[in-house]
Structure 1
Amino acid sequence: MAPRSAIAATFPYPERFQAAAAYAGIGRDPNSASTAAIARLPDDARLKLQWLYHQAKFGPYAAQKPNTRKPAEESEWTSGDQPEKMLSAEAMRLFVEVLEANDPEWYFKVPESIIKPLLDALVNKKTLDPAESYTLKSIQEPETIAAQNENLLETKDEDAIKEGFDSVKIFDTWTVLSTSGRKPKPRYKHGATILQDKMYIFGGCYSGRYLSNLQVLDLKSLTWSEIEAKTQSPGSATTVPVAPCAGHSLITWGRKILSIGGHSKDYSDTVTVKEFDPQTCTWANIKTCGKPPISRSGQSVTLIGTSLVMFGGEDVKRTPLNDVHILDLETMTWDEINTIGTPPFPRSDHTAACHCERYLLIFGGGSRSTCFNDLHVLDLETRKWSIPKQVGITPSPRTGHAGVRIGEYWFIVGGGNNNDGVSETLCFDMSNLAWSVVTTVQGRMPLASEGLSIVFTTYKGKEFLVSFGGYSGNYSNEVHVLKASYKSDIPPPITNGIISSTALTMYNSPNGSILNSEIKHDQDRKVEQTTTDKVHLSIPNITQKESSGVIGAVKTDIDGLKVALKTEQLLTRQLQQALALTHRTIANLTEELKVVVDGLAPERSRLFELEANVAELQQKLQPMEGFQKAVEFLRQKKAA
């Protein structure tokens, strides 16, 4: 009898692939009852599964890959045209995806006779990486997944909802945020953005199916609601349902929301741009000019001034891309950018951010079989790629992570590396090119998953990161928040001044620029102090309630003072750097002035010589004036 839990969803690879193949009836006894699973699938799905199984177990198939009827169906293949280049791990992943797309509930249908041997094999492994230890701990009868319950219950923690962001007491620690209202369906690869103190969630993927609903979380009341949005039919006043999509980008522009790119059931050769108007609750397809990019998903789209900068992604055949396109939002005109320098390897599911309204930063992402941890910078004025030298920790490779910028700080959350979820939350200080770890989560949390979203909001002068969704073996619809101790009130170097020159030096020098060797030590001390605070705050309550409250308040004040001190120290360092640059500029100008003065000395001597010559000539001309008068007198006398 098939168990009702989704234990197979918690398996790592290759065990998850083995469970999927056994359930489908591929590679097992033909008389096995589980062969009925593949018999129920469409012909094209059966062919794909057999092809991928052979690719994963034995290598390239002698026969060609199954043909697909529609271009959109090609998105199910990563490298079907070049099977010899598909790795076994990638074939396993695609096998599970194809099965999930055609039988979304297969996790719940796997017989115990298949689960038990795989579970025993996992438990009996003698050498288990520490990173995998939480996987075995999590392989237990899970609670009923919220998405399977058609009548989702509102949270019972009314006090936590009423307290809202005030309930988050500790800096730099992820906390589950209690919300009310009907939660969205779990998902990943969705879009998220903030507009007027509300977080909008659109689209995404759940159990191999694209979603089309638009959900809103009011960040003041922490209440979920769903918008019955429609799309204006082209050339008609009527509206039609919104096409499901995933892998798109959601951007706030003015009082509206833009959705760019992504894969959809409504196939298009080029990237589509849709606009949502909260006033009318309607989507409209935006007509663009110029040369639009080819259709893709997993791209990054960054708002810089009045333009959107798109980089990378993967096309409908899942071929990674590394091209750059700019959409002018005022004229809605696309322009492809020809860059110089060495561009990043083609990739998708990376993150991007803008610095100084001039530099586009690209971090991480993945190709068909590789995850990256490199940082590339594109100077949008010179259109040149570079890799600046960085300090601090070295980020681990990841794809499917999320990023958001707060002032000079770029936060990177989650992602995966083809084996496990990435557990640490990173912060990249753009002004100093320094990496640091903000916090680390334990176990298979949504924050260590792929396809999650991250935005930031401000509450009572504090900045909060807000995450939603993700996939780490299970789909998530939880909301997590982190109160950032990194302050964003330091003026970013975007003016035509000294700090702007510093940023120019950092990104355009061959090896970057390390502004201060103390930065890494300060960040390490901050991490140690934060960790110490967390340990102290997690000590069980062994004193009176009143004492605990006083101690907690004092520690909160201390944390606030530490943050303020750290901000002042960083601002002081920036001012010192600016002052040093000013001194160097003055020294250079003084040297130039000296050269000019030295060059004027010969000219001054020559001027004196010319003045003497003029005076001498004037003296010689005086007798000539008397002679000229005498001649004139004689002429007049002769004429008379």
Structure 2
Amino acid sequence: MAAIARVSSGLAYPDRFYAAAAYVGFDGSADSGKAVTSKFSNDAALLLYALYQQATIGPCKIPKPRAWSPVEQSKWTSWNGLGNMASAEAMRLFVKILEEEDPGWYSRASNFVKEPVEDVEMNHNPKFEPVVGNGNGNGNTFPETKTVPAENGNMSETQDKDVVSEGSSAVSVYDQWVAPLVSGPRPKPRYEHGAAVIDDKMYIFGGNHNGRYLSDLQALDLKSWTWSRVEVKEASEASSPIGPCAGHSLIPWEGNKLLSVGGHTKNPSETLQVKVFDLQSHTWSTLKTYGKPPVSRGGHSVTLAGTTLVIFGGQDANRSLLNDLHILDLETMTWDEIDTLGVSPSPRSDHAAAVHAERYLLIFGGGSHATCFNDLHVLDLQTMEWSRPTQQGEIPSPRAGHAGATVGENWFIVGGGNNKSGVSETVVLNMSALVWSVVTTVQGRVPLASEGSSLTLSSCNGEDVLVSFGGYNGRYSNEVNVLKPSHKSTLQSKMVETPVPDSVSAVHNATNATRDMESELETGQEGKIREIVMDNDSQPLVKKVEETSEHLLSALKAEKEELESSLNKEKLQMLELKQELADAETRNTDLYKELQSVRGQLAAEQSRCFKLEVDVAELRQKLHTMETLQKELELLQRQKAASEQAALSAKQRQSSGGVWGWLAGTPPDQKSDDD
């Protein structure tokens, strides 16, 4: 049976689940689900049955069937194996499995689907219908925008203090999502696609629609807001075709190339594949790499740090969650699996990743088999040591399937799901101070509150803008939304004003900053003292300056010692945690070996028990045969006794014949010999 894992299939709302259940044939009756066996394989049918029971009834509480019935025992085993899985997660997985087994079922299940009624009030309307554009007086029509409903449900006024007069600009409001009027043939709605920006064009590749993986390449001109399909030329000897995929990453490279890294495919390979699309030749090719590549996966994160790609986590082809770290050097094309220090993030997929200051890799959120996270992990790419710093500000709720993009030192996160609903807040993390804040909040069932959308950074009239596309929240989306952030880079001020976070990387930065300041003060104060002596022979003033300098240096040295002490404590605590982890892994290994041994003994005992049962059955059969033979033997013995008695009687009669017997030719003595 396929392994049960949390999958970023969007938010399995009850209406979609019950539509899927009705389509499959589950109606709650005693014969419910019989039709499913004729539509799907045995494994898929059992899994759908178990998920339906878990979603509608809850964890399995019925006793295991005693009667020998393979079907009933298999159904009980499948249901019981789900444990305490949440009902919402069971609904999600039910819909996901159905989409994988029967792509396009939703379009054929119109009789079962009940779409929610849209609210007709403007301030709660979740649709992003743009208003008609205005001309600029030159005969050209520029796209107008409509602001996405914010938390208070009111549209931003054009005379607001945050509105910037930009003439033909498609984005004129800060920190609010707006939907520009786009033209051209829109791509098919999708989620789990890849997105990247090169030369004012946003490229969209692949994704998932109705359970089918896509392989088309689309481009959105961010100046004219026009969609167009990128025609891919046929593969030549030097190029190779690329199949449909989802859950991959699209990375811009060398100014005119796109790298597609990994992803889920119908026929997955054993190792992670990196495909290259050349925007000049319009051809796909496979990137030739060296070393040992990672196993194939999807839902992972791929981050460009300088000239290296950093790959973390995801799900492999068997849907096993991963937390390994691999690096691909794009100069030597060599793979390297990294053995990190510290405590790595737990295995997960559908998380977000970013690189700060070309040195620190940040991992936020993601999901496991049935849980979403909101933890933040930091990896120092120089020391390859993980840390888990303390987050400050408005810490986001747990989520998975969200999208992220960096603007300077600010990391914007949008969308995602938490197994119950879509996340409506757009949040930002100042990566220097590790402080979270909420940028804006949307309302309703809108694409911005969905899983599997993409978020890219572009430029509009010289200003940074964030572009969101697609997603799935019960419906597949192909909407485009744009946000112009007002956050400015505050790295220098935050380093001075904000307290030092309790993370190894932050302590390292603070220690370096203290050393630099100490060095500057030493040289600076020494120069000032010499200047004062040359300009003024006042000894008291020189002495006062020297005392001030010594006081400052003493304070800095004390602060340095305190930071070093804190760092040593952190390292000591980390070593203790490593030792505890090693001990736990050792105990786990021993327990696993013991479990395997017990399983082996149990299997041997079961085999021996079965053999004994067979032997008993054979002995019973032999015993029954022996009883039959005994009866036959007794019958033969009785027949023999009767025959002997008859023979004896005949002999006696013959011996009493006398002279008549002699006349008959049988003398008495000879007759006795013959007998």
Pairwise TM-score range, normalised by the shorter structure: 0.5 to 0.7
Q: Is the 8 A contact 2:195 2:455 kept in 1?
A: yes
Aligned to 2:155: none
Aligned to 2:299: 298
Shift of 1:513: 10
In the aligned structure 2, how far is the partner of 1:21 from the partner of 1:15? 10
Shift of 1:504: 13
| 1:192 corresponds to 2:191 | no
Count of residues paired in the alignment: 478
Q: Secondary structure at the match of 1:46?
A: helix
Distance 1:100 1:584, change over 3 A: farther
In the aligned structure 2, how far is the partner of 1:238 from the partner of 1:11? 38
Distance 1:105 1:258, change over 3 A: closer
Matches within 5 A, 1:12-411: 13-29=13-29, 39-41=38-40, 45-56=44-55, 57=57, 59=59, 83-84=82-83, 87-110=86-109, 157=133, 162-163=142-143, 166-230=169-233, 232=235, 236=237, 240=241, 242-254=242-254, 255-411=256-412
In the aligned structure 2, how far is the partner of 1:402 from the partner of 1:373? 14
Q: Is the 8 A contact 2:11 2:419 kept in 1?
A: no
Shift of 1:15: 4.8
Q: Is the 8 A contact 1:454 1:465 kept in 2?
A: yes
Q: Is the 8 A contact 2:11 2:473 kept in 1?
A: no
Shift of 1:326: 0.5
Shift of 1:251: 0.5
In the aligned structure 1, how far is the partner of 2:271 from the partner of 2:486? 42
Distance 1:138 1:385, change over 3 A: farther
In the aligned structure 1, how far is the partner of 2:472 from the partner of 2:299? 15
Q: Secondary structure at the match of 1:20?
A: helix
Q: Which runs of 5+ in 2 are unaligned?
A: 1-8, 65-69, 145-167, 526-548, 558-675
In the aligned structure 2, how far is the partner of 1:484 from the partner of 1:176? 15
Q: Secondary structure at the match of 1:323?
A: strand
Shift of 1:31: 7.9
Q: Secondary structure at the match of 2:215?
A: coil
Q: Is the 8 A contact 2:11 2:451 kept in 1?
A: no
In the aligned structure 2, how far is the partner of 1:250 from the partner of 1:349? 15
Q: Is the 8 A contact 1:263 1:296 kept in 2?
A: yes
In the aligned structure 1, how far is the partner of 2:295 from the partner of 2:181? 41
Q: Secondary structure at the match of 1:469?
A: strand
In the aligned structure 1, how far is the partner of 2:131 from the partner of 2:233? 29
Distance 1:11 1:408, change over 3 A: closer
Shift of 1:222: 1.2
In the aligned structure 2, how far is the partner of 1:239 from the partner of 1:433? 43
Q: Secondary structure at the match of 1:92?
A: helix
In the aligned structure 1, how far is the partner of 2:463 from the partner of 2:21? 49
Aligned to 2:443: 442
Q: Secondary structure at the match of 1:50?
A: helix
Distance 1:460 1:579, change over 3 A: farther
Shift of 1:269: 0.8
Q: Is the 8 A contact 2:394 2:437 kept in 1?
A: yes
Shift of 1:11: 9.1
Shift of 1:392: 1.2
Aligned to 1:538: none
Q: Mean Cα displacement is larger for which, 312-321 or 364-373?
A: 312-321
Q: Secondary structure at the match of 1:456?
A: strand
Shift of 1:36: 6.2
Q: Secondary structure at the match of 2:96?
A: helix
Q: Is the 8 A contact 2:518 2:553 kept in 1?
A: no
State the Cα deviation string for residues 379-436 of structure 1 (Å, max 9, x = none): 1111111112232111111100000001111100111100010001011111222111
Distance 1:362 1:167, change over 3 A: same
Shift of 1:19: 3.1
In the aligned structure 1, how far is the partner of 2:433 from the partner of 2:405? 17
Q: Is the 8 A contact 2:390 2:503 kept in 1?
A: no
Q: Which runs of 5+ in 1 are unaligned?
A: 1-8, 68-78, 120-134, 147-152, 516-574, 596-640
Distance 1:487 1:66, change over 3 A: farther
Sequence identity, in percent? 51
Q: Is the 8 A contact 1:192 1:199 kept in 2?
A: yes
Shift of 1:453: 0.2
Q: Is the 8 A contact 2:353 2:362 kept in 1?
A: yes
In the aligned structure 2, how far is the partner of 1:340 from the partner of 1:80? 40
Q: Residue type of the partner of 2:349? A: S
Q: Residue type of the partner of 1:449? A: S
Q: Secondary structure at the match of 1:99?
A: helix
Shift of 1:449: 0.4
In the aligned structure 2, how far is the partner of 1:426 from the partner of 1:474? 23
Q: Is the 8 A contact 2:416 2:422 kept in 1?
A: yes
Aligned to 1:520: none
Q: Residue type of the partner of 1:192? A: A
In the aligned structure 2, how far is the partner of 1:485 from the partner of 1:324? 34
In the aligned structure 2, how far is the partner of 1:506 from the partner of 1:580? 21
In the aligned structure 2, how far is the partner of 1:104 from the partner of 1:48? 17
Q: Residue type of the partner of 1:378? A: L
Shift of 1:14: 4.3
Q: Is the 8 A contact 2:88 2:420 kept in 1?
A: no
Matches within 5 A, 1:446-595: 446-488=447-489, 508-509=503-504
Q: Secondary structure at the match of 2:471?
A: coil
In the aligned structure 1, how far is the partner of 2:295 from the partner of 2:499? 32
Q: Secondary structure at the match of 1:363?
A: strand
In the aligned structure 1, how far is the partner of 2:205 from the partner of 2:265? 13
Q: Residue type of the partner of 1:18? A: Y
Shift of 1:110: 4.5
Q: Is the 8 A contact 2:342 2:387 kept in 1?
A: yes
Q: Is the 8 A contact 1:349 1:366 kept in 2?
A: yes
> RMSD across aligned C-alpha pairs, in angstroms?
4.4
Aligned to 2:415: 414
Larger Rg, first or second structure (1 or 2): 2
